[in-house]
C-alpha cells in the first residue's frame, strides 16, 4: 500500500474510533456508495437522479450479501428508513447503527467480504440499460480505483440523524471504441444525462449570465 494511502487509512480509522467513543450511545446513519468519474475532453458525464431532480455521477449504494446481513445483524445495524425499501433498494448498504459499533462496521466494510465489490451494476443500469451508450461496445469495462472519501460526521436534518457518507471513487478507462461511443453522446438532446465542465460542477450548475440553471448534486464534486 502506498505511504500516502496508508496514512490516510490510518487517520480514517483513528477518526472513526473517536466517533465510536464520543457517539457510542447515539444512532449513526451510514451510506456507503461508489461514484464513477467518466471524463472526456475536460467534461464529466453526469446522469439525472431517479429520486431527486439533479444531475450526479454514475454510481450508487453498495449492496450486501446474506453473509453481510448476518454481520450487520450482529452489530445491531438496522435498515435505514429515509428511502422506502423496495425491490431496487433492498440490501442497500444504507443503514443505521449504534455509534459504539462504528469502527466494527468500517473494518468489515474495508475488508470487502459480504458486500458488493464492483461498480459494474449501476454503470450497466444507468448507462447501458437506458441506451445512453451501446451495450455491444461496453460488454465489459476497465477502471481505476481512485480511493475513498469518508465524510466527517454531521447532523443531517434530512435524515434526522447523525450521518457519515462513504464514497469509493472509480474512473472509467475506455478503450478506443468506447471512447468514440461516449464522445458520440456529446450532442445528445436527452435530459436524463449530460456532460458538464469542472466549473459547472463546482458551482452546482449555477453559472453567471445563465438564466436557467441545471441542478447538480453537491457530491458530484467528489469525482473532480
Predicted structure pTM score: 0.92
Please list, residue by residue across 193-207, b when 16 or more beta carbons sit within 10 angstroms of its beta carbon and e when fewer do: bbbbeeebbeebbee
- What three-state secondary structure class fits 7? helix
Give the CA dihedral 71, 75, 81, 82, nearest 10 degrees: -100
pLDDT in tens, 16-62: 999 999 999 999 999 999 999 999 999 999 999 877 789 999 999 99
Q: What residue numbers bound the domain in which 26 lies?
A: 3-223
pLDDT number for residue 86? 65
Q: Predicted confidence band at 100 (pLDDT cuts at 50, 70, 90)?
A: very high
pLDDT in tens, 166-208: 999 999 999 999 999 999 999 999 999 999 999 999 999 887 7
Domain count, the chain: 1
What is 142-182 written as a DSSP string?
A: -EEEEEEEEPPPEEETTTTEEEEEEEEEEEE---HHHHHHH
Q: State how far the Cα of 8 lies from the Cα of 29, in Å rounded to an integer.
A: 22
Q: Are 202 and 196 in contact (CB under 8 A)?
A: no
- β-strand pairing of 161-172 with 154-156: antiparallel
Amino acid at each position: 500500500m502506498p505511504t500516502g494511502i496508508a496514512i490516510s487509512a490510518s487517520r480514517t480509522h483513528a477518526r472513526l474510533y473517536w466517533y465510536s467513543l464520543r457517539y457510542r450511545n447515539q444512532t449513526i446513519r451510514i451510506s456507503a456508495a461508489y461514484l464513477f468519474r467518466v471524463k472526456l475532453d475536460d467534461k464529466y458525464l453526469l446522469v439525472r437522479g431517479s429520486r431527486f431532480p439533479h444531475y450526479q455521477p454514475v454510481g450508487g449504494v453498495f449492496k450486501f450479501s446474506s453473509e453481510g446481513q448476518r454481520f450487520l445483524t450482529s452489530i445491531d445495524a438496522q435498515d435505514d428508513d429515509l428511502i422506502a425499501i423496495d425491490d431496487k433498494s433492498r440490501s442497500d448498504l444504507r443503514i443505521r447503527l449504534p455509534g459504539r459499533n462504528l469502527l466494527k462496521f468500517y473494518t468489515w466494510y474495508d475488508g470487502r467480504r459480504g458486500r458488493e465489490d464492483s461498480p459494474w451494476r449501476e454503470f450497466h443500469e444507468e448507462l447501458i440499460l437506458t441506451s445512453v451508450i451501446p451495450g455491444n461496445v461496453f460488454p465489459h469495462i476497465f477502471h481505476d480505483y481512485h480511493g475513498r472519501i469518508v465524510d466527517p460526521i454531521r447532523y443531517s436534518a434530512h435524515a434526522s440523524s447523525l450521518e457519515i457518507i462513504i464514497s469509493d471513487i472509480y474512473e472509467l478507462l475506455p478503450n478506443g471504441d468506447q471512447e468514440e461511443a461516449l464522445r458520440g453522446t456529446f450532442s445528445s438532446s436527452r435530459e436524463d444525462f449530460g456532460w458538464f465542465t469542472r466549473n459547472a460542477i463546482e458551482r452546482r450548475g449555477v453559472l453567471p449570465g445563465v438564466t436557467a440553471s441545471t441542478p447538480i448534486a453537491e457530491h458530484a464534486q467528489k469525482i473532480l
